[in-house]
Amino acid sequence: MIIVTGASRGIGNYLFRYYRENQTDSQVYGTCHSAMAEDPNISQINIENSEQVDEWSKSLLLNKPSELTLINCAGVNNNAMAHKAAVEDWQSVINVNLLGTYNVIRSFLPYMREVGHGRIVNFSSVVAEKGVPGTSAYAASKSGMWGLSRAIAAENGAKNININSINLGYSDIGMGIDEINEDLKQIITKNIPARRFCQPEEILDTVEFLRKVAYINGTSISLSGGLV
């Protein structure tokens, strides 16, 4: 079984659609939040709500999959300088990106441990490494994922479960890409050693790599075209 959170838009939608179309022998499920579900296998879930997440995961696990991949794409951003940010906005980024991701992982982990198989891929960001003005909440939530992954890897490595993060740079799909005008895109591109944004296929290849190589555990991969 493959589960993709944030399947209504951007990267999650791309990965969900890819697996739905190409994984004939595997069940593929996803989540949306504010958007309407575009596929019968997508459920409307607020990952901040652990009870809702648990109920949803229980219903999927009735299918008794022998293998389980969880791809955590659901996330939000809220740009504000730290000295001006509203506490509620700051908190809500942490609640979705960090606590929400934990809620989802937590709800599938006992089953993964039981069947002795689990692949967990989280989406972090180069923003967490780089220090970008206006991103204190987002960066905190994304660097929090590294510690979360390391601890969960240490707890579950012996059960054939791996958990890693992709530290993504600028991608051609998803978060805010439609709001970046051509001029700004060119300025950003000049600062990326690869001189281009990440392509969806490169994200998919990285996810597949982490799914295949169980021995990679508790770490993160920079997918940033050399941007640090």
Ligand X SMILES: NC(=O)c1ccc[n+]([C@@H]2O[C@H](COP(=O)([O-])OP(=O)(O)OC[C@H]3O[C@@H](n4cnc5c(N)ncnc54)[C@H](OP(=O)(O)O)[C@@H]3O)[C@@H](O)[C@H]2O)c1
Binding to ligand X in span 40-99, by CB under 6 A: 45-48, 73-76, 96
Tokens in use for 206?
């990285």
Q: Residues near 227 by Cβ (< 8 Å), separated by ≥ 6?
A: 126, 130, 169, 170, 191, 192, 193, 194
Give the H/E segment covering residue 222: strand 220-223
- Retrieve residue 32's tokens: 């949306």
Percentages (nearest 5) of helix, strand, coil residues in the chain: 45, 20, 35
Options 3-11, 19-27, 109-117, 129-137: segment touching ligand X (CB under 6 A)? 3-11
Number of residues that bind ligand X (CB under 6 A): 28
- Closest CB to ligand X among residues 67, 208: 208
CA neighbours closer than 13 Å in the CB half-sphere of residue 165? 29
Instruction: Specify whether 138 is catalytic.
Output: yes
Report the residue from 1, 3, 4, 6 that binds ligand X according to the rule CB under 6 A.
6
Residue 62 DSSP SS3:
coil
Torsion angle of the four alpha carbons 172, 178, 184, 187, in this order, in degrees rounded to the nearest 10: 0
> Which of positions 130-189 make contact with ligand X (CB under 6 A)?
168, 170-171, 174-175
Return the residues of window 94-133 that contact ligand X according to CB under 6 A: 96, 100, 123, 125
Instruction: State in angstroms the smallest separation of the CB of 212 from ligand X.
Output: 21
* C-beta closer to ligand X: residue 6 or 65: 6
Of the candidate residues 2, 8, 162, 211, the single one contacting ligand X (CB under 6 A)? 8
Q: What is the DSSP string of 73-91?
A: -------B-TTT--HHHHH
From the candidates 18, 138, 170, 215, give the one annotated as an active-site residue. Answer: 138
Cβ proximity to ligand X: between 154 and 177 the closer is 177
Q: Which residues are catalytic?
A: 138
Name the residues that contact ligand X, by CB under 6 A: 6, 8-12, 31-35, 45-48, 73-76, 96, 100, 123, 125, 168, 170-171, 174-175
